[in-house]
Structure 1
Amino acid sequence: MEQYKQEFIEFMVDSQVLKFGEFTLKSGRKSPFFMNAGGYVTGTQLRRLGEYYAKAIHDNYGLDFDVLFGPAYKGIPLSVAATMAISELYGKEIRYCSNRKEVKDHGDTGILLGSRLKDGDRVVIIEDVTTSGKSIEETYPIIKAQANVEIKGLMVSLNRMEKGQGERSALAEIKEKYGFDANAIVNMQEVVEYLYNKPYKGQIYIDDTLKKAIDVYYEQYGAK
């Protein structure tokens, strides 16, 4: 596993963004783990988060694109942080863009924040986590309505590796439906492998009991 992936797993735990226990998801599923990217709130956390996204985007898509699009609301700080990190780490100037939930009719009017989208732009979408793919159903037509752009791919922080709306993972369904790649900084299998029965700062985060609960969860909800 790449070094930045190992560091990112530790970063999620340190930031209390990735938690283990018993949680009820928006989908109604009872999950033994929960990830909330809204937990990244400090300047240092956002800087580091942007760097991890930048490295994963570079590994999966290269730097041959023009715009990083972060859907409102959680995608807004993600797109800003990752755009800054790409500039800092790789010397590549790309533009950030996000949508507004409410169209503004005065001043800086329209549905977009940041850069406008132009015909020919190559776009990478950035999100926190995708469980069902419903967010892309909302985001895709918004982007396509702005200009004739090429969407190169989607990057999320964690692939939960669960069934989407069918039997396959949400990321696999997105690729099949929309024709662009969907990737994550890390997937849940990598998280489990890295933390299982491994002390981190004096604590075992995934012990035998939790590992069994995770295995049972994936027997029911795991993607085929």
Structure 2
Amino acid sequence: MLSHKKSLDILRKTNALLEGHFILSSGLHSSKYIQCAKLLSYPSKAEKICKSLAFKIRKNFKKFDLILAPAIGGIVIGYEIGRILKKETIFCERVKGKFTLRRGFKIKKGSKVIIIEDVITTGKSSMECVKLIKKSNAILVGFATIIDRSSKKTLKIKKKIISHLKIEVPTYKSNKIPKELDSIPISRPGSRFIK
């Protein structure tokens, strides 16, 4: 198991955790930005974190049949956790704005499913995955993520989330930015701004 400090060191060294002044996809401002894709570009470092998360999943979810990951952020994490735990892993992707199973993927009736993501902020993507599980008459076992940066105020998930790391990421509306953050130049790293 990786310690919290070692995990944060890995995230900083791979630029998966940035500090500065960011406008997030939500339009809110923050002093931290998390981009797990940067961690995944270093497979040997990502493997250490995924092994640690797999250990926690095994400890908390005794029986499950399938891992479902939302595209695109959850695909690599889902695959790696599936490889470690020797579980079938599929992903869903957006078609006309809604998560759909494509490529011949199916969730068998009655199967026990875990949803795995890279980062959970509000849980909106995960809850969209839950609809696919219910539609297949399967059973949701729980949620797992590398980084849980949710807050009770914004989280849509009511079940327990198993995470490798829980990171507090304060966010601010544009009219309530603290002075120390307001003095730092703004970055817009998210993909939602790309036209």
> Is the structural similarity TM-score above 0.5?
yes
Separation (CA, whole Å) in 1 of partners of 2:131 and 2:18: 33
Q: Distance in 1 between matches of 2:44 and 2:104?
A: 22
Determine which of 155, 162, 167 is the counterpart of 1:188.
Answer: 167
Deviation at 1:45, TM superposition (A): 3.6
Partner of 1:33: 32
Shift of residue 137, structure 1, vs aligned partner: 3.5
RMSD, matched Cα = 2.7
Q: Following superposition, which runs of at least 4 residues in structure 1 exceed 6 angstroms of deviation?
A: none
Deviation at 1:48, TM superposition (A): 2.9
Query: CA separation in 2, counterparts of 1:185 and 1:169?
Result: 20
Distance 1:82 1:60 in 2: 14
Aligned residues: 167
Identical residues among aligned pairs (%): 23
Q: Distance in 1 between matches of 2:78 and 2:130?
A: 16
Q: Which residue in 2 is equivalent to 1:194? A: none
* Structure 1 portions without partners, runs of 5+: 87-92, 104-109, 192-211, 214-224
* 1:126 and 2:153 aligned: no
For the 8 Å contact 2:127–2:157, the answer to whether it is kept is no
CA displacement 1:35-73 (0-9 Å, x = unmatched): 0111121332443343132123123324x1111111111
CA distance, structure 2, for counterparts of residue 71 and residue 113 of structure 1:
14
Q: CA deviation at 1:79?
A: 0.7
Relative to its length, the structure with more helix (as a share) is: 1
* Alignment counterpart, residue 92 of structure 2, candidates 96, 99, 122: 99
Alpha carbons of structure 1 residues 3 and 138: separation in structure 2 relative to 1, 3 Å: closer
Following the alignment from structure 1 to structure 2, what is the Cα–Cα distance between the partners of residues 50 and 80?
Answer: 10
Please give the per-residue CA displacement for 1:156-180, whole angstroms capped at 9, x wherever unaligned.
Answer: 22222435xxxx251xx311xxxx3
| Counterpart Cα distance in 2 of 1:95 and 1:23 | 37
Question: 1 or 2 for the larger relative contact order (CA 8 Å, sep ≥6)?
Answer: 2
Q: 1:113: how far off?
A: 4.9
Give the 3 Å change call, closer, same or farther, for CA 57–4 of structure 1 in structure 2.
farther
Unmatched tracts of structure 2, length 5 or more = 170-179, 182-195
Other structure's SS at 1:68 match: strand
1:134 deviation in Å?
A: 1.9
The aligned counterpart of 1:152 is 141
